[in-house]
Structure 1
Amino acid sequence: MTSFNTTPYNFIKLDELYCQPLEIDWIIEDIMPSNSVGMIYGPSGSGKSHVILSMAAMIANGRDWFDKETEQGNVLVMAGEGLPGLSRRLLAIEKEHNLAIDQQKLHVSSRAIGLDTDNGYKQVLQAIEELETPPKVIFIDTLSRHLMESGENSNDDMARFINKLEDIRLMYGCTIILVHHTGKSTNQGARGASALKANVDFSFEVSGQNKKCRFSCDKMKDADDAIPSKYFEIKAVDLGLISSKGKPITGACVVGSTTPISLKIIKQSKEDIALACFTTDKKEWQRAYVQTCTDPISDESKGKQYREARKNLISDGKVLENEDGSYSLTEAA
């Protein structure tokens, strides 16, 4: 595969500037501009991954995404979750929407990687170069699972990370979308450094509860951001398969809903908070929990909460403690 050359840094005259197309080229009409960097964020369990997988499938097939036209192209999903869970979700999309996803135009990573590291960045570029077709869209799900050396709360680190994404964007002329979590309060937008939201071209929030969610725009740099919200339900889909124990195998996907939903602010459990700020390292995970938890208690008490939450998540089969002392999320998370 031949990639686009990285655009050199120079200055151009106004006549060259005015030759640039004024009309926005959309990958998803009014939602996802081409050749850009964006973000989709929301609390843990709100339906973010379901939303981006539905986008990925429709872009790969060139089909409308909930009444919005798409431009067909190669889609990459840099996944931080287990592959069996992704498989069930994609099969659910196929069955629910009566389509066969174009297997030549949708690719999923085998694991998460530290995209912020030099080695991780090189490995990602090498993997992209091995594809027959350059990517049109790259989803990074989630941001935290693809950071190894950078701090989400550091403006310097996040600015450097966005610059890496911009380099990839320029190389392939693609759109890159970060999937991210909300901050300490769901009313305060995406968590972490302000440089993150400031440096993306567009962002959408996914908010929801009880298998219902709202998809709403809060930034569109070069177009109208007064986009009507979309409403979805997360639907369980029988895949028509039977497990080794004789039980039906199901997946899930988002389906459109015409009825706006009332989203109440609810108090997150300590387990929800722990999942939202999960990192593989025990100390980093506790530090992230203490920073994220907004309960009016001491940091020591928050640390105790974290340890209780970690124990419960392991007991519930949502987190796995590895032999080297690190942790991994399971499909149940």
Structure 2
Amino acid sequence: MLNINQLPTAAGLYFVPIPPIGGKPTKAPRAKGWNLPQSAQNPGGYSQEPNTSGNLGLYHGASNTLALDVDDLAEAERVFDETTGIDLEDWLNDFERLEIRSPKANRGKLLFKLPEGFKNARLQQLRGPNGVIFELRCGNCQDVVFGQHPDGGSYELIGNLAKIPEAPAVLLDMLRHWDEWKPCFNTALGESEPPRIAHTKSQEGEQLPGRRDPIREFNQSVSVSEILTRNGYKPKGRDRFIRPGSESKAPGAVIMRNCSDGIERVYSHGGDILNDSFAHDAFDCYRLLECGGDFNKALSWSPEISRHNQRLFAQERAKNAPPPPQSHDEGKQQAEPRTKPEWQPFPIVPANELTAKPIKIDWLLNGLIERASLNLLFGEPGAGKSLFALDWAFCMAAGLEWHDHKTKPVDVIVVAGEGFSGMARRLKALESKYQMKSPERLFISQRPANLIDGVNAQWVADTIKATCQNPGLVIVDTLHRNMDGDENSSQDIGRFVANLDGFFKPLGAATLVVHHSGHGDKQRSRGSSSIRAAMDAEFSATKDDASITLSCRKSKDFEAFKPMQFKLKPVELDWLDDEGEPMTSVCLAHDGEAKTTTQKRRLSARDDAILSSLSEAIAQHGVTPSGEIQSKFAPPNGQKWAEQKVVNISHWREFAYRCMAVDEKPGEEKLDTKKKAFQRCRNKLFDNKFTIEFGDYAWRIFEVK
């Protein structure tokens, strides 16, 4: 136990003597003036050199310290976990903590140093149904650091008073803004009155059979957390959020998952627009935070749902419309009773009607792009994907053949999200390639469009409809620059694709989306796999040194063309730069069918070392392959099996582990790391045709020079 003479006298700390009362220890000083400096006239005041036979208290006001005094550890842990995400056990077990340990169970007290000049030092207390849960003790109060507890046992000081930890920011926020944090604590304790559920306005035609409810569908497709996050709320603790611009950092927005109707809602007691004493569902958050409170604007979040309901309203109005006024002559005759339209069945047809006559594919670019189809063209940077898209657009708008592929003359719109500065030069290069001016039916946007948003997609579609007599192709270049969403989210991609189908397909136009290839796999597009699943056709542009290969990766209803090879052809334009030199650009020059290559994927240093270790293992432990291997596999590279050895994979693993360096880790963990790395490399070498494996044996394939 700490001896009173060991207390630091040069750490800027001030102590209060707390003599016993009636021979019994106490926690509170009784002397008048205890919170004033010690002097001859005030012997019971605080000082830096304590001298007492009783308990000793640390005076926070003069010492500029803070005590987090936990009276109910279990409840305090729950409150801190829910409101801050902090585990108090971590603080209470920190090796650098300064703790005053009470002999009473389920308690804890941590000491911290306040910043110099801190102006909100005062006692704050959180009470629950069973008493005090915790206190923030600072300012004009003290805590016993040496002595005996009134109920028996000694106080134990754990840590070094000369090295008091700085107060965590969250405790400072609580002290500065206790009135804003208090409601957060109360909701965590379940002491607040359940908030009222925000009233939902009635919608036009709610009772119509077959009507889709945009509020219900919004709540099913978008979470409250998603709306809050994209509007600047920061998650904190458990199901809680800090409003944008909050000075207190109090997580005043609380997610409610146990509403009686099963709908998730948020209740806010912060200073935001949601703080109106009501709990709001995701749709209502969207209305308030993104639509300025406009109910009708929020209802229009899905153009597809809006069009569906509008058709129902129109049909209902037609049923109930009054008959046209009769002329005088007509009135002489008995008016025929007005009848309601007959019931119309859902449209289905026999399959043999579909096959009774041929339905030709309406090609816009023969063998590649069909009218009203949805297509994807992806490639890595520099692979020419935008050049292909613009070349196709130029030829379709002009009615030119594209390398023996016929086109249908249509209006083409390029929604350009990037490369505005180079667009004019690329068009000039195409004018040079085809020896004609850019076609009048080709249109280029001057800005990107956020096509995940129905209002923006409608704007683009309306502009196309007003500008083009025969819209045939809309090129979205690129997906990333024309979608304010997460391309890895199947939900965001679903909304993006739904808008392309819902707004561009009714125009009779096909859509071509230009996209980037995957970060780790250049043979697929980047992001969610739902992108590819939604496409009618998918094309890739890949670069290999000076050659670019165009391939068809997916063709839903037609035979894929053979890969085509191109080269970038520099074009000198008839424009001059500031120095009087001709400007240049590039176009694609067809170089026939793509040529097969024996070049394999480049290996990393580790992969190459593990591949070399296979050769070493074969050299030392290689065996003649079994008859089964010889019957199933041709000998590599034109050799005879007598010249080719195989090796048991266990020997290969042994040699591979020798050349693998991993971070310093315990033995078993290091072995597990090597095992996983070896398996990843085996898969890569096999997939890229550097090795062959059969059963327990492996062997190499060497490139033919």
Give the shorter-chain TM-score range. 0.7 to 0.9
After superposition, the CA RMSD in angstroms is 2.6
- The structure-2 alpha-carbon separation of the partners of 1:188 and 1:50, relative to structure 1 and needing over 3 Å to count, comes to closer
Aligned to 1:162: 497
Identify the structure with bigger relative contact order (alpha carbons < 8 Å, sequence gap 6+).
1
Kindly indicate whether residue 551 of structure 2 is the aligned counterpart of residue 216 of structure 1.
yes
8 Å contact from structure 1 (residues 128, 134) kept in 2: no
User: C-alpha displacement at 1:242, in angstroms?
Assistant: 1.6
Aligned to 2:129: none
Aligned to 1:114: 450
Paired with 1:229 and 1:54, the residues of 2 have a C-alpha distance of 17
Aligned to 1:147: 483
8 Å contact from structure 2 (residues 431, 438) kept in 1: yes
Work out which of the residue numbers 586, 603, 608 in structure 2 matches 1:252: 586
Paired with 1:139 and 1:178, the residues of 2 have a C-alpha distance of 6
Aligned pairs (5 A) from 1:1-333: 10-14=346-350, 17-18=354-355, 21-103=358-440, 105-148=441-484, 150-225=485-560, 227-258=561-592, 260=594, 262=597, 265=601
Paired with 1:182 and 1:197, the residues of 2 have a C-alpha distance of 12
Paired with 1:95 and 1:217, the residues of 2 have a C-alpha distance of 28
- The structure-2 alpha-carbon separation of the partners of 1:39 and 1:267, relative to structure 1 and needing over 3 Å to count, comes to farther
User: C-alpha displacement at 1:175, in angstroms?
Assistant: 0.5
Paired with 1:220 and 1:101, the residues of 2 have a C-alpha distance of 30
Paired with 1:135 and 1:219, the residues of 2 have a C-alpha distance of 24
Paired with 1:201 and 1:159, the residues of 2 have a C-alpha distance of 15
Amino acid at match of 2:574: G
Paired with 2:477 and 2:422, the residues of 1 have a C-alpha distance of 13
- The structure-2 alpha-carbon separation of the partners of 1:191 and 1:125, relative to structure 1 and needing over 3 Å to count, comes to same
User: C-alpha displacement at 1:18, in angstroms?
Assistant: 4.5
Paired with 2:479 and 2:526, the residues of 1 have a C-alpha distance of 11
Paired with 1:82 and 1:171, the residues of 2 have a C-alpha distance of 29
Which consecutive residues of structure 2, in runs of 5 or more, have no partner in the other structure? 1-306, 313-345, 605-661, 664-705
Paired with 2:425 and 2:545, the residues of 1 have a C-alpha distance of 20
Q: Deviations over 1:208-256 (max 9, x none)?
A: 144421000011101112x211111111100122212122111111111
User: C-alpha displacement at 1:57, in angstroms?
Assistant: 0.5
- The structure-2 alpha-carbon separation of the partners of 1:19 and 1:78, relative to structure 1 and needing over 3 Å to count, comes to farther
Amino acid at match of 1:173: G
Mean Cα deviation higher: 204-213 or 18-27: 18-27
**Higher Cα radius of gyration:** 2
**How many pairs align?**
262
User: C-alpha displacement at 1:134, in angstroms?
Assistant: 3.6
Aligned to 1:285: none
8 Å contact from structure 1 (residues 37, 176) kept in 2: yes
8 Å contact from structure 2 (residues 380, 522) kept in 1: no
Paired with 1:267 and 1:79, the residues of 2 have a C-alpha distance of 36
8 Å contact from structure 1 (residues 43, 186) kept in 2: no
Paired with 1:70 and 1:208, the residues of 2 have a C-alpha distance of 26
Paired with 1:267 and 1:214, the residues of 2 have a C-alpha distance of 22
- The structure-2 alpha-carbon separation of the partners of 1:246 and 1:216, relative to structure 1 and needing over 3 Å to count, comes to same
Under a length normalisation based on structure 2, what TM-score does the superposition of the two structures give?
0.35
8 Å contact from structure 1 (residues 80, 111) kept in 2: yes
Q: Deviations over 1:178-205 (max 9, x none)?
A: 0011112234401111111011100011
- The structure-2 alpha-carbon separation of the partners of 1:133 and 1:90, relative to structure 1 and needing over 3 Å to count, comes to same
Q: Deviations over 1:143-188 (max 9, x none)?
A: 000011x211111221221111111243111100100111122344
User: C-alpha displacement at 1:51, in angstroms?
Assistant: 0.6
- The structure-2 alpha-carbon separation of the partners of 1:114 and 1:49, relative to structure 1 and needing over 3 Å to count, comes to same
SS at match of 1:130: helix
User: C-alpha displacement at 1:117, in angstroms?
Assistant: 1.2
8 Å contact from structure 1 (residues 36, 169) kept in 2: no
- The structure-2 alpha-carbon separation of the partners of 1:199 and 1:236, relative to structure 1 and needing over 3 Å to count, comes to same
Paired with 2:504 and 2:468, the residues of 1 have a C-alpha distance of 17
Aligned to 2:328: none
Aligned to 2:99: none
Amino acid at match of 2:453: T
SS at match of 2:438: coil
Mean Cα deviation higher: 159-168 or 179-188: 179-188
Paired with 2:349 and 2:415, the residues of 1 have a C-alpha distance of 38
Amino acid at match of 1:45: G
Paired with 1:240 and 1:39, the residues of 2 have a C-alpha distance of 33
Paired with 1:95 and 1:50, the residues of 2 have a C-alpha distance of 14
SS at match of 1:258: strand
Amino acid at match of 1:71: K
Amino acid at match of 1:204: F
